[in-house]
Structures are given as structure tokens and as C-alpha cells.
């Protein structure tokens, strides 16, 4: 309906904005951006979804690249993990996102990139009255199956501390204080949590998350919920030590995180401090323990959210972007948190409102300041329109050296700083600033005069939230997890983590292959009983192959298997892709100790062989040339029919793509930098990284042509079909919409340079019109436009929207008239050519007919045929018949030549292939003999060294025993001489 229509032709709709931006990008070949702003609960997220759906629909008119489905699936995933119910909105975005959709010149989607800003981590551990945690927790608890509930140890929402925040406005420090309070509601009217969970599962599948990956994500979410249930108490015999009230929660968290229970207990109750030459273990205080527990949960969830965004970007990445440097057209959609003013505003609201200040300043720059400055520079007649300039508020918050963010970072560097010292520093530096006020009463708060009104912020927890550090012992605990997924979340560099994962997967698989070779060797030598069942490894122990980080290693291992082992086996082994598929079906089997690749007893058993016991591996044991030739021939004949290839999932990771995505997000390293405090370089604060993200966002927006969408909240009660006049009018005033309407009515929002104007409207202008002010002014006067509808400046032509539409209509009519003229002339030419051809054909028929007809039919009774005509007809027939016969003969000769060439080339190929197979078999045999000699030497050295160590240990034990016997004899002599008296306990012992 809105496709290829001028903005304003139809009723206002979000689809019209998307369509105009899409076609402007293709016509002008410039990047576009759509900035969506408004209060919380005004519909920004829903408008973003409509925009993305329409942009993908426009792209799919041509050839669909498949990225559109991933873009549509990323929306529900990000909403589930980043949105929550607040007092103003049931689906409030607690993070900002900028979605950049890249297009090809043809208009199809080339790729996309999602950038996130400042996830509200504090919501995970505490929510205000009538608010909820993130949606994904409620989706999981309502939609999980019985099997999943048992595997993840899921409970009801009211049994989790992080989900059952109470109606009290002030947060309590102890769990017991919540028992008498009334919990908030866990559901929203009209919400179907089970359906939302199924929708989330489908969206994650569209993005590319494997079932095993989704299982690991949900397992981590359950671990975070159970981590919040850990309660502390002071020990009765020590005032400075604490203990866990409910130790039964620890095994559950330990199982879900796959860490040792003892290490988890130590990390949650004590901290390790390294001094000069010694290491101190200091117990946490009660308040510190709660903070560490919450910090661990917040950092885990934030790292998981960053990982999800990273995986989505990898799925949206176009491989051609890694190697090509061609220009890419893009449309960016900004959906950032709206302006917020709650009863208790903290550091998160301060950052959110600062981001909205920057967006409002960007809006004012483009709509008012830059446009009016351009009018004055061009010398056209114009009366300035006053608008609210919020530059002073932005300088107060972010301009160094006295900005509030800078002062906050300074206070965070002082260990003795408090909330009062921070507030005092604000007062000293900005006492006379009109954009900041301080309450008259002694209240730890300050008031900022934003463009949307005054907002009071409490300084409590400002310093803690600006750093939000996680101790190194917690990081070490999580990196010690047996779950490769959790370890990957703790990594700083994704490419380095990926390299270690591939290397670890390769060596584990190599161990399995070596153990399988040992068992087959024992079978060939007749020692089937010597292979104990302890050597078999549980298939579940190779579950690391399910992790997406290790998916790339499957391709490498399969390639190595085909190149190194396909020649030396009578029957091919099961591909790794089949082993991977079996991991999701087989249940866990009890682990038993097995032998490692170095001959020692390993901690885990090895992978059981999937091949049948009746089949044997054809390892070369005979070096005779005749045997080699026979085996090479057999392998060659067998491999002709064996063409199985491993089925690998899409969107596999590789080092090049990981480095590319990491460089795009260098400015946003909030989670990764704070997880590693043992580094000498101090990580930047949350406010510093947030400012860096906003600066990059403003730089991206500055390189694009903007479209602004202002969302207005109709009422504060979250009710449909209700319109509050005062609330809407207040939003229209502080967003500058009234001034925007005035400047659009009296201003000239359409601008063309002289060259572009002449090029665009050359059809309407007289031939030879020059791109000068006088020439364009004369042409516009001849077109009978309204005098107030346009002005010609020094270098540009300014038009109002009505005049532009009138010019476009005239241009469209003139183009259509010329098209009709061209069509008329072309059709006339076609008809003329057709007529000429038919006339020539009729003349030819008439000529031959007249030659055939008797010349003197009335005078002669018998027909008299012309001999020349008969001779010509005979010659024509003979010519066509001889040509047909020669063509048939040539076709037969050509087919025979092709058959001979094909047979000769096939014989040459078979001869070369046989030689290559023989050479490969002989080289493999030589390498095998060298390896066996080296292996026997290593075994002999190991046996000698172990024997020497055993003899040394036996010698030490004998000497120790002799010393003990000598000491006992001396003691007995002293007792006999009366020199030593026995204690009462020793006297009571029997002899």
C-alpha cells in the first residue's frame, strides 16, 4: 500500500517512513537512519519491529538472501533477554539497540549488525514495586517441559528471590525480612507465557542456536536464579565470619555451573588477598557477601547477553564483507530506552536520560540549528524560530573536566569516598549552574533540569554501579568450570577463546582415535580379552562438540580423518557428524577410569568404538609390494561408491569473522573488561564506556540522512483507546514538536544544489539551461510557481514540500508524455516494417505464380510449362537434400570423435590415479614403520624411568622404617632405665 509513494500522499504510518528511507537509499546512494525516540511505554519497540518487518518485506521483492529471516528472528530473542515489565510499560526495553541493515545495489539485504547499549544489570537482582525481572525467566519457568524442569531444577517463580521482589520501596539486606511482605504479580493481563516460550524457541532456531546451545543457555539461567536463593548468616562464635543458611542450594548451583562445590563455597564466603610474599584469605562481611553474590549473577547474565548479541551478529554477517571493500548501503534503526522519571531514580536512569538528551540535541541540530544557519549562509529571507537548546545540560553531564560523569569517575578511584563526598563535590563544582539543583533538606540526591523536565536522582549506589567489579576469584571459579560454554563467556578475546577450543577439541578427538587404534591392534594380535571395558568412553563425555564454539573443529577433524585414515582402512569409520548427532540421543553412562594417550590412567574414559566387532581395520603390517598393490586396488574400487560427507551446521565460527566482529565492538567492552581485575591496567568505568558508545552512535548517525519518529504516550495507565490531553501536550512541548511544525510550515525542507536541480528537472527546463542562479530563477518564474513556495540562494534551491510535489507531478506528466510519444513512434515503425515485409512477400508470391501460370492459356488448348522453372525447382530440391545428407554425416563423425576422446581421457585418468594410490600407500607404510620404532623407544624410556623412580621410592621407605624402629628401641631402653615417664593415656593403652 505504501510502496513507492511520496511521504504525505497517504495517511501517516510507520511503513511510509520505512518505504521513503528504502527508496531514498537506492536513488541517492546514501546511508539512511531512522531515530525513534519518546518516553518509556510510548511504543518505540513496537515501531522498530514494524520498521524491520517492512524493510525485510521490501528486500524480499527481489531475490531473498535468507538474512531477512535471521533479522526477524533476532527481535524476539533480544526482547526476551533484554526487556522487562516496568511501572510504565509491560514490555520496556532495558537496553538500547541500533540495528544496521546493509543492502546491495539491487535492494536485497546483504547483512546486518546489532549494537547494544547499557543493559540494566541491577534489574536482575532487584525490582521496584509492580515491576518484574527479564521476560526470559518467566518464559522458561512457564514453558519448560517436565524433563527440562528436572534437568534444570526449576521451581515456581515465587520460590526464587530474584523473581519475588516485594512491595516495599526500600531494599532490605536480609532474606528473612521479605517473608511478611506481599509479592508482586508474576503475570500480565493478556500474556501467554507458554506461547511466548515456544515463540522464543522458534526465534532462537531461526537465528541459528542449536538445541544443545539452547539447553546450555537455559541451564545458565536456572543457575542464576538458584544463585540468588543463597542466604548468609553470621557465625555465632565469630563476629567477622559468615556462613550459608541453606547449604542445600550449593550442590544445585555447582551442578548447573559444573564447578566444584568447595570452590563455590569459598568464592562466595571468602576473598583472597595477595600481599608481599603471602596470600591472605579474608572472610566476607554479611553485606559484602550479598554484594558478591549479586555481582556474580549480574556479570553472568550480562556476559550471556553479550554472547547472544555476538552470535546474532555472526549469523547476520556476510562473508563477503571480510574480503571485499565495496561500498555498502545501509539503513539504521535506533531503538533506545525512553526518557524515565520514577519515584526512585538511580544511576541507570541517569545514563538513560543522558542518552535521550544527546538524541534530542541531535534532533535540534538537524531540525533547527543547522537548517537555520544554512538559510542565513545562503542569503534567503528568513525569520529565526526559537527552540529549546539543551547543550548546557549535556555539558553539565559529560564535558570535562568538571562534568558529573568525570567527577563520579574521580570519586570511584578513592577508596574512602562515600555518597556524601560525591554529593559535596557536585555542589562545589556546579553550585550556580541552572541545570542542576540540590534539595533544601539533607537528602542524598540532586536534581537535573532535562529537556523533558526535572528529575531527582539519588546518589546511593552511584559509585558501585559505575564500577560494578567482579573479583578475580569469582572469575577463576567460573573459568574452572567443566562446561566449555561458561568458560567461553569469561573470555576477553573471542578469537583466542575459539583457538583454544579448537585445539582442545582436536587433542581430545586425537586421544579417542589413538585408543581406538590400540583396541583394533589388540584384536588383530588375538588379545581381545586384554582390552578392558574401562577403556570405553561415554559418548556423553564428548558433549563439548555440541558447543557452537567447537563446531568449526568438526570440519577440521573430518578433513584430517579423510586425508590420513581413509587409505588405511577396509571399512570407513563413523563420521564425526554422526558421533555429534548421537550425543543428543544417548543418555549419560557412568564414567569409569581409562587409559590416556601417554599410557597413564586418565581422569576420563575414552570414546567407545562405533564400528562392529566383526569388522577389522586394515592397518598395513606387510610391506610386500604385491600386498600393497592389492590393497591399493581394493581401496580404490571401494572408495568409488563411498561419497559420504559430514553434515555441518550453518554459521560456523572462524578466526577471521571473530576478529572482524570484535573490532566493531571495541568501544563496548563493559562486561569483558570488568571481569578481569587482576590485570594491571584498570578497566574503564561504566559511564566512560557508555559515553564512548554514544559518541560512536552519534558518529554513525552523522554519516547518514536522518528520519525522526517521535512516539507519544497516550496515557499513564497503560490502557488502550484512552487519550490524555495534558500528557500528550506536555510531550509535544518538551520534544520540540510544536516548533518543528512551525519550521516545516514556514521553512524549506527540500534543498537542491544548482547542479542537482538542473540534472533532476532537466526534462522540464528549456534546453541549454545553465546551472546558475539567474538561469534557475528564470526557469522557475516561467513555471508559474507560488512566490512563497521557493527561494534561490547562492548555491542552492530551496523548495517547500508542496512546491516539490507540484514539480514532481509536472515532471511525472512530462516524462509520461514523452514516453507515450516514443511508444507511438516505435509502434508505428514496427507496423511499417511489418507492412513492408508482408508487401514484399505478396509481390514474391505473385511473381512466382505468374511464372508458373501458362502465358497464353486462351490461345493453346494444352498446358505449356516453362522448362526453366522446372529446372530451377529440381535444383532447389537437390540442393536441400544433399545439404541434409552432409549434415547428418558430419554429426555422426563428431559424435564418434567425442566418444574416442572421452575414452582416451578416462584411460589416462585411471592410470594416473593408480600411480598416486600406490605412492600414497607406500609412503604411509614407511611413516607407520618409523612411528612404531619411535613409539617403542618412548615406551622403553618410560619403563626405565618409572622403574628407577619406584626403586628410589622403595629405598626411601626402607630407610624411614629403619629410623622408626631405631627410635622405638631407644625409647624402650629409656623406659627400662626409668628416664622417661608415661602419660596417663599411654598407661591405659593395652600392651
Domain boundaries, the chain: 347-459+712-747, 486-663, 752-843
Q: With pLDDT > 70 as the criterion, what percentage of the chain qualifies?
A: 77
CA distances 822 to 212, 827, 834, Å, are 64, 8, 18
Cα 334 from Cα 33, distance rounded (Å): 8
The residues, any chain, with a CB within 8 Å of residue 135's CB and separated by 6 or more, are 79, 80, 81, 83, 84, 85, 91, 196
Q: How are beta strands 796-799 and 750-753 bridged, if at all?
A: antiparallel
Top mean-pLDDT range of 546-555, 598-607, 668-677, 684-693: 684-693
- The pLDDT value recorded for residue 926 is 94
Q: Which fold has domain 347-459+712-747?
A: Methane Monooxygenase Hydroxylase; Chain G, domain 1 (1.20.58)
Least confident of 35-49, 241-255, 575-589, 886-900: 575-589
CA distances 919 to 562, 567, 610, 641, 924, Å, are 17, 11, 30, 22, 9
| pLDDT for residue 574 is more than 70 | no
Q: For residue range 353-407, list pLDDT tens digits in order.
A: 898 888 888 888 877 777 777 888 887 877 777 777 888 999 999 988 888 999 9
| pLDDT for residue 348 is more than 70 | yes
| pLDDT for residue 960 is more than 80 | yes
Q: For residue range 854-872, list pLDDT tens digits in order.
A: 555 555 545 555 678 778 8
| Average pLDDT rounded to a whole number, residues 576-592 | 35
Top mean-pLDDT range of 128-137, 552-561, 809-818, 928-937: 928-937
- The pLDDT value recorded for residue 660 is 73
Calculate helix-pair angle for 135-143, 211-228, nearest 10 degrees.
110
| Average pLDDT rounded to a whole number, residues 592-599 | 36
| pLDDT for residue 320 is more than 90 | no
Cα 113 from Cα 750, distance rounded (Å): 31
92 in helix, strand or coil?
A: strand
Encode burial over 679-706: b for 16+ CB neighbours within 10 A, e otherwise: eeeebbbbbbbbbebbebbeebbeebeb
Q: What confidence category does residue 766 fall into, taking pLDDT thresholds of 50, 70 and 90?
A: confident
- The pLDDT value recorded for residue 2 is 65
Specify the DSSP class assigned to residue 261.
H
| pLDDT for residue 590 is more than 70 | no
| Average pLDDT rounded to a whole number, residues 781-810 | 80
Calculate helix-pair angle for 494-524, 655-664, nearest 10 degrees.
160
Evaluate the CA torsion angle 301, 302, 307, 308 in order and state its sign. positive
Least confident of 99-108, 514-523, 640-649, 797-806: 640-649
**For cell 511525472, what's the residue?**
812
Cα 786 from Cα 269, distance rounded (Å): 79
- The pLDDT value recorded for residue 582 is 33
| Average pLDDT rounded to a whole number, residues 870-886 | 89
Q: How are beta strands 329-335 and 32-38 bridged, if at all?
A: parallel
Choice between 856 and 481, residue whose per-residue pLDDT is larger: 481
Do 83 and 93 form a contact (C-beta atoms < 8 A)? yes
HEC secondary structure over 594-612: EECCCCCEECCCCCCCCCC
| pLDDT for residue 60 is more than 70 | no
Cα 771 from Cα 767, distance rounded (Å): 12
Q: What confidence category does residue 76 fall into, taking pLDDT thresholds of 50, 70 and 90?
A: very high
| pLDDT for residue 676 is more than 80 | no
| Average pLDDT rounded to a whole number, residues 44-52 | 89
Choice between 301 and 241, residue whose per-residue pLDDT is larger: 301
| Average pLDDT rounded to a whole number, residues 89-109 | 87
| Average pLDDT rounded to a whole number, residues 690-702 | 85
- The pLDDT value recorded for residue 642 is 42
Q: Let me know how many helices (H) and strands (E) the chain has, helices first.
A: 32, 19
| pLDDT for residue 594 is more than 50 | no
Q: What confidence category does residue 607 fall into, taking pLDDT thresholds of 50, 70 and 90?
A: very low
DSSP string over 34-91: EEEEEBTTSSHHHHHHHHHHHHHHHHTTS---SHHHHHHHHHHHHHHHHEE--SS-TT
Helical spans, DSSP H, in 490-641: 494-524, 551-565, 576-583, 625-639
- The pLDDT value recorded for residue 250 is 92
| Average pLDDT rounded to a whole number, residues 628-634 | 51
| pLDDT for residue 608 is more than 50 | no
Q: What confidence category does residue 149 fall into, taking pLDDT thresholds of 50, 70 and 90?
A: very high
Q: For residue range 283-293, list pLDDT tens digits in order.
A: 888 888 888 89
Closest of 454, 452, 457, 456 to residue 712, by C-alpha: 452
| pLDDT for residue 678 is more than 70 | no
Q: How are beta strands 705-711 and 32-38 bridged, if at all?
A: parallel
| Average pLDDT rounded to a whole number, residues 678-686 | 65
| pLDDT for residue 469 is more than 80 | no
Cα 332 from Cα 338, distance rounded (Å): 18
Choice between 383 and 216, residue whose per-residue pLDDT is larger: 216
- The pLDDT value recorded for residue 88 is 81
Q: Mean pLDDT for the chain?
A: 77
| Average pLDDT rounded to a whole number, residues 480-501 | 81
Choice between 649 and 267, residue whose per-residue pLDDT is larger: 267
Do 284 and 242 form a contact (C-beta atoms < 8 A)? yes
- The pLDDT value recorded for residue 1 is 65
HEC secondary structure over 691-760: HHHHHHHHHHHHCCEEEEEEECCCCCCCCCCCCCHHHHHHHHHHCCHHHHHHHHHHCCCEEEEHHHHHHH
- The pLDDT value recorded for residue 674 is 45
- The pLDDT value recorded for residue 65 is 60
- The pLDDT value recorded for residue 687 is 86
Top mean-pLDDT range of 462-466, 492-496, 869-873, 965-969: 965-969
| pLDDT for residue 625 is more than 50 | no
| pLDDT for residue 191 is more than 70 | yes
Closest of 549, 15, 598 to residue 307, by C-alpha: 549
Cα 917 from Cα 629, distance rounded (Å): 9
Cα 714 from Cα 427, distance rounded (Å): 37
Least confident of 243-252, 295-304, 563-572, 667-676: 563-572
Choice between 40 and 612, residue whose per-residue pLDDT is larger: 40
Q: What confidence category does residue 811 fall into, taking pLDDT thresholds of 50, 70 and 90?
A: confident
| Average pLDDT rounded to a whole number, residues 560-567 | 43
Amino acid at each position: 500500500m505504501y510502496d513507492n509513494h511520496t511521504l504525505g500522499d497517504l495517511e501517516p504510518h510507520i511503513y511510509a517512513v520505512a518505504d521513503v528511507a528504502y527508496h531514498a537509499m537506492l536513488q541517492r546512494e546514501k546511508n539512511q537512519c531512522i531515530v525513534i525516540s519518546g518516553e518509556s511505554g510510548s511504543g518505540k519497540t513496537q515501531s522498530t519491529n514494524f520498521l524491520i518487518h517492512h524493510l525485510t518485506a521490501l528486500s524480499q521483492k527481489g531475490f531473498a538472501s535468507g538474512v531477512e529471516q535471521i533479522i526477524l528472528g533476532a527481535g524476539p530473542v533480544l526482547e526476551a533477554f533484554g526487556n522487562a515489565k516496568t511501572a510504565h510499560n509491560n514490555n520496556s526495553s532495558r537496553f538500547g539497540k541500533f540495528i544496521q541493515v546493509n543492502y546491495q545495489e539491487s535492494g536485497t539485504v546483504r547483512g546486518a549488525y546489532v549494537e547494544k547499549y547499557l543493559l540494566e544489570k541491577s534489574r536482575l537482582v532487584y525490582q521496584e514495586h509492580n515491576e518484574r525481572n527479564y521476560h526470559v525467566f518467566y518464559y522458561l519457568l512457564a514453558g519448560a517441559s517436565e524433563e527440562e524442569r528436572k534437568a534444570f531444577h526449576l521451581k515456581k517463580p515465587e520460590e526464587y528471590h530474584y523473581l519475588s521482589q516485594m512491595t516495599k520501596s526500600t531494599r532490605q539486606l536480609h532474606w528473612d525480612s521479605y517473608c511478611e511482605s506481599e509479592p508482586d504479580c508474576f503475570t500480565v493481563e493478556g500474556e501467554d507465557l507458554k506461547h511466548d516460550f515456544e515463540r522464543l524457541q522458534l526465534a532462537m532456531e531461526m537465528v541459528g542456536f542449536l538445541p544443545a546451545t539452547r539447553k546450555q543457555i537455559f541451564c545458565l539461567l536456572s543457575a542464576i536464579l538458584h544463585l540468588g536463593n543463597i542466604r548468609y548468616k553470621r557465625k555465632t562464635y565469630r563476629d567477622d565470619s559468615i556462613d550459608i543458611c541453606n547449604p542445600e542450594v550449593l550442590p544445585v548451583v555447582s551442578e548447573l555451573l559444573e564447578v566444584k562445590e568447595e570452590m563455590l563455597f569459598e568464592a562466595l564466603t571468602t576473598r583472597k588477598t595477595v600481599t608481599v610474599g603471602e596470600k591472605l584469605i579474608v572472610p566476607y562481611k554479611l553485606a559484602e557477601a550479598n554484594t558478591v553474590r549479586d555481582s556474580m549473577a549480574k556479570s553472568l547474565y550480562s556476559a550471556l547477553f553479550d554472547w547472544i548479541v555476538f552470535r546474532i551478529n555472526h549469523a547476520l554477517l556476510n562473508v563477503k564483507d571480510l574480503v571485499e571493500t565495496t561500498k555498502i548501503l545501509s539503513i539504521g534503526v535506533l531503538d533506545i530506552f525512553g526518557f524515565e522519571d520514577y519515584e526512585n531514580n538511580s544511576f541507570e536512569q541517569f545514563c538513560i536520560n543522558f542518552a535521550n538528551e544527546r538524541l534530542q540535541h541531535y534532533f535540534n541540530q538537524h531540525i533547527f540549528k543547522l537548517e537555520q544557519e544554512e538559510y542565513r549562509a545562503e542569503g534567503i529571507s528568513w525569520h529565526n524560530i526559537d527552540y529549546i537548546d539543551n547543550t548546557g545540560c549535556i555539558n553539565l553531564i559529560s564535558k570535562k573536566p568538571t562534568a558529573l560523569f568525570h567527577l563520579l569517575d574521580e570519586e570511584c578511584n578513592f577508596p574512602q569516598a562515600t555518597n556524601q563526598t560525591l554529593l559535596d563535590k557536585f555542589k562545589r563544582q556546579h553550585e550556580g549552574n541552572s541545570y542542576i539543583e540540590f534539595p533544601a533538606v539533607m537528602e542524598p540526591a540532586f536534581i537535573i533540569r532535562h529537556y523533558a523536565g526535572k528529575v531527582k536522582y539519588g546518589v546511593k549506589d552511584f559509585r558501585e554501579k559505575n564500577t560494578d567489579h567482579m573479583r578475580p576469584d569469582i572469575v577463576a571459579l567460573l573459568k574452572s568450570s567443566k562446561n566449555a560454554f561458561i568458560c567461553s563467556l569469561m573470555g576477553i578475546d573471542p578469537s583466542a577463546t575459539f583457538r583454544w577450543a579448537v585445539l582442545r577439541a582436536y587433542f581430545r578427538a586425537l586421544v579417542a582415535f589413538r585408543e581406538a587404534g590400540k583396541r583394533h591392534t589388540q584384536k588383530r594380535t588375538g588379545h581381545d580379552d586384554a582390552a578392558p571395558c574401562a577403556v570405553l568412553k561415554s559418548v556423553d563425555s564428548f558433549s563439548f562438540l555440541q558447543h557452537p564454539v567447537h563446531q568449526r573443529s568438526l570440519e577440521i577433524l573430518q578433513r584430517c580423518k579423510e586425508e590420513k585414515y581413509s587409505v588405511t582402512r577396509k571399512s570407513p569409520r563413523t563420521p564425526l557428524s554422526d558421533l555429534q548427532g548421537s550425543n543428543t540421543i544417548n543418555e549419560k553412562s557412568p564414567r569409569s577410569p581409562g587409559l590416556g594417550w601417554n599410557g597413564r590412567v586418565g581422569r576420563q574414559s575414552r570414546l567407545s568404538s562405533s564400528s562392529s566387532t566383526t569388522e577389522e581395520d586394515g592397518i598395513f603390517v606387510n610391506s610386500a609390494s604385491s600386498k600393497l598393490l592389492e590393497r591399493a586396488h581394493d581401496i580404490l574400487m571401494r572408495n568409488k561408491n563411498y561419497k559420504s560427507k559430514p553434515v555441518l551446521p550453518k554459521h560456523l565460527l572462524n578466526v577471521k569473522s571473530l576478529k572482524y566482529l570484535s573490532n566493531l565492538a571495541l568501544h563496548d567492552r563493559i562486561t569483558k573488561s570488568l571481569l578481569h581485575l587482576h590485570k594491571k591496567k584498570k578497566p574503564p568505568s561504566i559511564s566512560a564506556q557508555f559515553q564512548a558508545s554514544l559518541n560512536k552512535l552519534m558518529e554513525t548517525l552523522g554519516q547518514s540522512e536522518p528520519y525522526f519518529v517521535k512516539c507519544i504516550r497516550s496515557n499513564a495507565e497503560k490502557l488502550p483507546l484512552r487519550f490524555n490531553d495534558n500528557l500528550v501536550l506536555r510531550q509535544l512541548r518538551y520534544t520540540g514538536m510544536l516548533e518543528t511544525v512551525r519550521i516545516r510550515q514556514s521553512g524549506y525542507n527540500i534543498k537542491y544544489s544548482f547542479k542537482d536541480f538542473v540534472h533532476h528537472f532537466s526534462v522540464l527546463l528549456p534546453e541549454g539551461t545553465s546551472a546558475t542562479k539567474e538561469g534557475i530563477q528564470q526557469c522557475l518564474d516561467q513555471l508559474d510557481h507560488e512566490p512563497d513556495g521557493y527561494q534561490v540562494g547562492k548555491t542552492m534551491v530551496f523548495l517547500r514540500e508542496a512546491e516539490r510535489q507540484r514539480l514532481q507531478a509536472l515532471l511525472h506528466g512530462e516524462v509520461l508524455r514523452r514516453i507515450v510519444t516514443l511508444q507511438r513512434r516505435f509502434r508505428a515503425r514496427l507496423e511499417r516494417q511489418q507492412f513492408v515485409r508482408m508487401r514484399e512477400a505478396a509481390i514474391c508470391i505473385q511473381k512466382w505464380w505468374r511464372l508458373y501460370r501458362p502465358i497464353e492459356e486462351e490461345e493453346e488448348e494444352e498446358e505449356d510449362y516453362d522448362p526453366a522453372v522446372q529446372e530451377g525447382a529440381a535444383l532447389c530440391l537437390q540442393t536441400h537434400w544433399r545439404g541434409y545428407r552432409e549434415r547428418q554425416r558430419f554429426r555422426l563423425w563428431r559424435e564418434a570423435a567425442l566418444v574416442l576422446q572421452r575414452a582416451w581421457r578416462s584411460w589416462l585418468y585411471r592410470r594416473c590415479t593408480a600411480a598416486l594410490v600406490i605412492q600414497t600407500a607406500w609412503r604411509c607404510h614407511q611413516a607407520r614403520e618409523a612411528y612404531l620404532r619411535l613409539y617403542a623407544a618412548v615406551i622403553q624410556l618410560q619403563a626405565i624411568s618409572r622403574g628407577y623412580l619406584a626403586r628410589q621410592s622403595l629405598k626411601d621407605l626402607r630407610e624411614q622404617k629403619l629410623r622408626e624402629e631405631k627410635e622405638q628401641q631407644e625409647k624402650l631402653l629409656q623406659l627400662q632405665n626409668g628416664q622417661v615417664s608415661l602419660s596417663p593415656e599411654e598407661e591405659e593403652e593395652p600392651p
